[in-house]
Structure 1
Amino acid sequence: MWRIPFFTFLLAIFMSPAHAQGGAWQACHGVASPAGPVLGDCRPIADVVDPQGREIWIRSIVQAPADTRPRVLYVAGVASSEAWLNGKRLGANGRPGSAAQEEIPGRYQAIFPIREVIWRDGENVLVLRLSSFHGGLRFARPMSAVAVLPYPYPPRIAPLAITFLAAGTLLAAAFGFGVIHAMRRTGTSLILAAMASVATLQAIVESLRTLFDYSYPLHAWRMSAIWVLAAIFAVLLVRYVSTRFLPGRRGVITGFSLGLVGATALLPGFDVKTIWALILGVALAALPAAAGAWRRLPGARPTLAYLTLFLALALGLPEWFTDLSYFLLAAGLVLPLLMVEVVRLGRDDRGREAALTRAASQPDRLTVASARGVELVPIAEILAVVGADDYVELRLAGGRSLLHAARLDGLASQLPAGFQRIHRSVIANLSRVQRLERDGDRWRLHLSEGVSLPVSRSRLPALREALEAPSVAVAA
């Protein structure tokens, strides 16, 4: 696997830069000949080496190595390449050309071994011919590196091992949340399964450059996939936190996050797009978490603290964050949530059993497990029950409301006959109905107080029949 080293580490530690002796690459007019490239009219390159949409010849001066270790030329970028050292051809990566039809795309990373006899004492002339007609999207810095490196490389498997460990952990979490969703049909478990799956996919896509020697035209697709997956993770994170702690505003918050995170597509550079997609998602998710902490909802404060840490690392160490810590933090977020979900589901089951036992002895009251503790609510005071994922909101007389750790389907069987399901997420107390009226192509049910409730078309006939019963008076 000598063609797939950890080049980022090597460039930082062992690089003998190709821009030694003054540091500048020169762009030249050049032609290939049996004796080597013939260059003329060479001029310094002021900015970056950019072969996109053209063929270029570049040269630089490198110093002969001070030791006897073998050297290789490492070229990474969105281009086909051909290299010479002191007029001796080192090799080709694909085939550069002056037009798309003449070019054969090379790999994104290429290594050219340098024979010891090619080196001269002192200065050596390195020449490259580059072209990039098949790159797809245009990059601000198409060439990642051109460097002379010692070989063999020291083993550096730790970063890849950590990434794979995080990916395996996230995959296991995705499976766990999927099982929970299959058992309980809770929306939060489905969102968390999607979050873990997306983070797993991004870890795999991030590792492709190290694992596979892919053709350079695929690099644009890989970078696009990294940004898309980061953006999806950010929006799912916002959706999850708003569903848990601010369910009444989750649609607005999720829609806003879609627009704001999607706007990062307009930023220059894929690393910048990815970093800001994650930062914006975490920042927006912190808002409903803060609202939940202020209302003292269970789990809100730890979630807010974790998101704050997430955001601090993203702002303080953006490159480290996108390369590695994102996967570790994602795993650190979803794994505790998985354990919390399992514990909470067990606790909820026990709480529901106890509530049913107490309710059997007091049929006129509903035992509600809320953030304030356990409360016995007179059923006659309940105006409506509105579903909020694995919680329900009890709307009570006098403008009060309570969050109850129960599901709408379970409450529908516990409430007396005067309550009826009028929408997939709403149960109404028919004894509190004032009128049923049409609102455009929809129907709304008005109670004695509070906001009107939506009525689904499929449940409208049953509701009309119930309201026409002698025991219910309603002005239609």
Structure 2
Amino acid sequence: MAVGERIPASLIAPFLLLAGLAALGIAAWPRPVPAPQSRGPAWWICPSNAACGWGEPTGAPLAAPVTVMRRVVRIADPRREEALAVDVTAMASAEVRWNGTVIGVNGRVGPDRAREVPGRFTASFPVPWERLRAGDNLVEVRFSAHHRWVPVGRPVHRLAVGPPQEPLRSVLRAYLPTLIALGLLVAALLLQLFAGTGRVAALLGGVVLAQAVAEASKLMLTYAYPWQVTRLFVVALLAGIGALLLAWLAGALVERRARLLLLSATALAVGGAWLLPAWDAKALWALRAGAGAALAGAALGRGRMRVLLGGYGLALLWSSLVPGFLDSGYYLLAAAFLAAVAFPRRAVPVGAPMPAPVVPAYVTLPHGNVQHRIASGDLLRAQAEDDYCRVHLADGRDLLVTVNLGALVRMAAPHLIRVHRSHAVNGASVAALHRGGPIELIDGSSIPVGRTYRAALAAWRDQ
């Protein structure tokens, strides 16, 4: 018996729901905005000639044709001053001037889209020694951002004057766990494909892997700033798709009506997440919607997947409260979950005696929260429907069971024989075999035989 079946449902459901609601409540609780720390003089920001004021670069929307930011840097003795550089990380083109002289350009700043050339998302401009002077030095940075094709809440990520830094060094340090997660996700996806755990689980693995590649692309590419906008869009879009696939997996644990309600609620929650202004918030709340769906399916459903989905949903919700979760934590958690799904059975230790196969007289078929006990001989045939199966019985009834065809064949072995990617039949119900053609059953139905299954069917016929 699986772990999830040994724990009473009366304990699992309240724990999952309470823990999930607590995590969602903490995530949604409004937090006070910390007062800005005084790290030196602010910048004088001029979005136009008539509207200037002191502020932080990260709060500037860069909505004007050209936005100018100025700051005074005081140097006591240029001969003793360490090397200086102006570091810019922004979804905009930039031109940097030191004491009125241009010391570097990132793309080409222009008053409109036609006259602007997009610059790189991250750039660093060293200040020449001969441009330093004792006393006040005026730094001026001009921005234009006409190639952003979607609104962005914080186009300027960083604007600083200080010792030169490798632009990618801090990014590499922050995204190193993501690179590790990429390898783990590839391994988990291969396990999914070889284990045959179902198309939805494999598709979820592919979506998470694609999201991790998009997230870590800033380490692999030196790209112009419009790609940063596209990257944020792709990450948020894949997060929403992953949430819907996770809800689909959770829906397999509950009845059809509850499954439709679960998918609809998740789709609405993902749509609501896309109304948020920040792109990181869109992706984060979409993932939280998928985690909530996993918790709901685990609390209301049955089976081993209940424990896996419930644990994964709780881990997602609570980990999403940690800063930087979208950069690496999500991918590490997803890799662990997908690997766990790919191992549905406990391995038999090497050297342990294999138990003699027992032919079951009855088969228990899961149907949402209901378990149907069917005599193995009453199974006529089964047909795959996505990650479920429709089982046809000898008395004319049809049952939609919440396992995939491969799992059903293993449960009903040796009575059910897989003869096609989408079909399995009971050997006792076969009326005629046609060489190179379909199978005829005693109820008059005709079942196609897949090319890769003919050898197994011939072996069964010769027994």
- TM-score interval, normalised by the smaller of the two chains: 0.5 to 0.7
Task: Give the direction of change, closer, same or farther, for the CA distance of 1:228–1:29 in structure 2 (3 Å limit).
Answer: closer
| Distance in 1 of aligned mates of 2:165 and 2:89 | 18
Task: Select 1:109's aligned residue among 114, 122, 129.
Answer: 122
Corresponding residue of 1:309: 315
Q: TM-score, normalised by structure 1?
A: 0.66
Task: Select 1:190's aligned residue among 199, 221, 224.
Answer: 199
1:190-339 → structure 2 map (5 Å cutoff): 190-243=199-252, 245-246=253-254, 248=256, 249-292=258-301, 295=302, 297-314=303-320, 316-317=321-322, 319-339=323-343
Displacement of 1:385 in angstroms is: 7.2
Q: Which amino acid in structure 1 is aligned with residue 188 of structure 2?
A: A
Displacement of 1:176 in angstroms is: 2.3
Corresponding residue of 1:72: 85
Moved more, 125-134 or 270-279: 125-134
Displacement of 1:391 in angstroms is: 6.9
| Distance in 1 of aligned mates of 2:100 and 2:400 | 82
| Distance in 1 of aligned mates of 2:108 and 2:173 | 35
Q: Which amino acid in structure 2 is aligned with residue 354 of structure 1?
A: P
CA contact (8 A) 1:81 1:129 kept: yes
Corresponding residue of 2:72: 61
> SS in structure 1 opposite 2:362?
strand
1:41-52 → structure 2 map (5 Å cutoff): 43-45=52-54, 48-52=59-63
Task: Give the direction of change, closer, same or farther, for the CA distance of 1:120–1:429 in structure 2 (3 Å limit).
Answer: farther
| Distance in 2 of aligned mates of 1:247 and 1:83 | 62
Task: Select 2:185's aligned residue among 159, 166, 170.
Answer: 170
- In the alignment of these two chains, the number of paired residues is 374
Corresponding residue of 2:153: 140
Q: Which runs of 5+ in 1 are unaligned?
A: 1-16, 31-40, 182-187, 345-349, 360-364, 420-427, 431-455, 460-476
Task: Give the direction of change, closer, same or farther, for the CA distance of 1:28–1:215 in structure 2 (3 Å limit).
Answer: closer
Displacement of 1:170 in angstroms is: 0.6
Moved more, 388-397 or 90-99: 388-397
| Distance in 2 of aligned mates of 1:141 and 1:207 | 20
Displacement of 1:415 in angstroms is: 7.0
| Distance in 1 of aligned mates of 2:104 and 2:114 | 21
> SS in structure 1 opposite 2:157?
strand
Task: Give the direction of change, closer, same or farther, for the CA distance of 1:132–1:413 in structure 2 (3 Å limit).
Answer: closer
| Distance in 2 of aligned mates of 1:57 and 1:375 | 71
Corresponding residue of 2:437: none
| Distance in 2 of aligned mates of 1:255 and 1:53 | 40
Q: CA RMSD in A?
A: 4.3
Instruction: Say yes or no: does 1:406 pair with 2:418.
Output: no
Identity over aligned residues, as a percent?
23
Displacement of 1:384 in angstroms is: 10
> SS in structure 1 opposite 2:194?
helix
Task: Give the direction of change, closer, same or farther, for the CA distance of 1:376–1:18 in structure 2 (3 Å limit).
Answer: closer
